[in-house]
């Protein structure tokens, strides 16, 4: 039988989810002209991203083949950041994570921002979200073995930040099962898990409703790129026996359940930035 503490925690979690979701219509109403413009920008896309879009629509995740030159530059830069790191600080309440990027890595000249602004990637994200996306964050996450049981995002969860969310993972190291790959349940399987459960769920809790044997471990050699909907798919990662280094870009509609994580307006806009790139930075 659940303890009083766990029931109270779940009640607070459910109330917060409701409050987060109810804030979205007010954000849209406040900035309705921008919201409409973002929708129109997505409607004008040329359809070249459709092979990826079909798989993303069906399952909620797809392997993406971006520019090989840009991906290799990103992987090399990621490895240099790890080699140069003087410390590996804990990221938030997740001791198994270290976030290695600084403000200097979030400038127009940096490959960490340039990759997230790749036009073909933005077109795919826009087509899936059905609006020109907003780039909430770019991170370089070093996952390390902890020797303890899974916790936080090592457990099954959904990100619960918008109607749909796209996260783009680029592996900077080879990722095999021992490296704690991002592991996804499809949208179909995820819908079987009731909404009233806690945010983080262990294997046994999820297995009561969904088929864990259908979970997809997204492995691959360095430079493998995965595009995933972390809102509508239950997922977990970083259950590491060996370290993992991954770049992560996070996109949503710009009108999610919470305020935008990043303010890019201090960036000097480049003359050749496309409308989608400007929308991604909130400059349009």
Domains observed in the chain = 4-280 (2.60.120.620)
147: left (phi over 0), alpha (psi -120 to 50) or beta: left
Q: Is the dihedral of CA 253, 268, 98, 261 positive or negative?
A: negative
HSE-CB of 114 using CA atoms within 13 angstroms: 15
User: Could you read off the pLDDT tens digit of each residue along the chain, which spans 284 residues?
Assistant: 556 567 777 778 787 887 888 889 999 999 999 999 999 999 988 766 678 999 999 999 999 998 999 999 999 999 999 999 877 877 777 887 899 999 999 999 999 999 999 999 999 999 999 999 999 999 999 999 887 788 888 999 999 999 999 999 999 999 999 999 999 999 999 999 999 899 999 999 999 999 999 999 999 999 999 999 999 999 999 999 999 999 999 999 999 999 999 999 888 777 789 999 999 999 98
pLDDT value for 78: 98
pLDDT value for 215: 98
pLDDT value for 207: 97
pLDDT value for 14: 80
H-type alpha helices, the chain: 4-30, 32-43, 50-59, 68-84, 111-116, 119-129, 187-190, 203-207, 275-280
pLDDT value for 91: 75
pLDDT value for 48: 67
> In the structure encoding, which two tokens stand for residue 167, read together?
């996260």
Compute φ and ψ for 171, nearest 5 degrees.
-75, 125
The model's pTM is 0.93
Encode burial over 121-152: b for 16+ CB neighbours within 10 A, e otherwise.
bbbbbbbbbebbbbbbbbbbbbbbbeeeebeb
Residues found in the chain: 284
> In the structure encoding, which two tokens stand for residue 239, read together?
């259950």
Residues 6+ apart with CB under 8 A from 269: 278, 281, 283
Residues 6+ apart with CB under 8 A from 263: 282
pLDDT value for 4: 57
HSE-CB of 230 using CA atoms within 13 angstroms: 21
Identify whether the C-beta of residue 71 lies closer than 8 Å to the C-beta of residue 115.
yes
């Amino acid at each position: 039988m659940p303890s009083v503490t766990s029931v109270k925690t779940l009640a607070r979690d459910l109330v917060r989810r409701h409050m987060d979701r109810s804030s979205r219509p007010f954000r849209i109403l406040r900035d309705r002209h921008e919201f409409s413009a973002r929708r129109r920008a997505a409607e004008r896309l040329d359809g070249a991203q459709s092979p990826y879009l079909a798989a993303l629509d069906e399952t909620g995740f797809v392997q993406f083949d971006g520019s090989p030159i840009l991906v290799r530059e990103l992987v090399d830069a990621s490895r240099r950041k790890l080699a140069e790191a003087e410390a590996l600080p804990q990221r938030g309440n997740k001791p198994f994570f270290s976030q290695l990027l600084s403000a200097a890595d979030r400038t127009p000249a940096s490959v960490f921002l340039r990759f997230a602004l790749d036009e073909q990637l933005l077109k795919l994200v826009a087509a899936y979200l059905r609006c020109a996306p907003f780039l909430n964050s770019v991170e370089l996450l070093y996952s390390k073995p902890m020797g303890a049981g899974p916790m936080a995002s090592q457990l099954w969860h959904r990100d619960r930040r918008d109607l749909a969310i796209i996260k783009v993972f680029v592996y900077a190291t080879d990722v095999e099962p021992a490296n704690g790959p991002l592991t996804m349940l499809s949208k179909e399987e995820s819908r079987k898990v009731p909404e009233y459960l806690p945010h983080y769920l262990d294997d046994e809790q999820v297995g009561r409703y969904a088929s864990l044997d259908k979970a997809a471990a997204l492995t691959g050699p360095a430079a493998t790129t995965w595009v995933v909907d972390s809102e509508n798919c239950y997922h977990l990662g970083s259950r590491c026996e060996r370290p993992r280094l991954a770049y992560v870009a996070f996109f949503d509609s710009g009108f999610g359940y919470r305020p935008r994580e990043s303010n890019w307006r201090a960036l000097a806009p480049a003359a050749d930035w496309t409308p989608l790139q400007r929308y991604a930075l909130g400059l349009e």
